[in-house]
Amino acid sequence: MAKGKRHIYAIALGSNQPRSRKLTPRRLVAKAMERLSKKPFNALMVSRIIETPPLGPSLRRYANAAVLVETKLAPPELLRKLNKMERKAGRHHHARKWSARPLDLDILLWSGGIWADDDLIIPHPEFRKRDFVLRPLAQVAPAWRDPLTGLTPRHLLARLHKSRKKA
């Protein structure tokens, strides 16, 4: 990977655990979106924040969004930066899967296409199955094609809803 090369990433943001009365899930997502618009990031596009029902055992509703960012950070460096942001917001990664969390940041897509190592897989393995990810993603990257399926977020969303109607 060339040093200093600029990368574009689609990042999903989610929260369903308030940190205080003022730091609601919606506000935590908005603050993370603000942070992703400052160095070393350049936010190219931000989605609206939507509220969605919980996935898994959590009872709290989620605030979800997506951001398209440009940065010189390579995928592993970006993952470290996002994990640091999550910890700063109060997230503990040893918590149970799908438990309530103050902030969840996932790399969905990358301008480099596919990345896979022990710590990170891009595109995100589950993003095609999640309405709460695809709706914001379609707002910020409507024409971006999933490198594995060749489909855009809008196509993936339509396919997801079509399969749910059949079920």
Write out the catalytic residue numbers. 91, 101, 104, 106
For residue 34, give the H/E element and its range.
Answer: helix 25-35
d(CA 111, CA 95): 31
Do 142 and 152 form a contact (C-beta atoms < 8 A)?
Answer: yes
The distance from CA 61 to its chain's CA centroid, rounded to whole angstroms, is 16
Give yes or no for a cis peptide into 76 (omega within 30° of 0): no
Q: 153-166 and 131-140 helices cross at what angle (nearest 10)?
A: 150
Helices (H), 63-127: 75-88
Other CB atoms within 10 A of residue 164 CB: 9
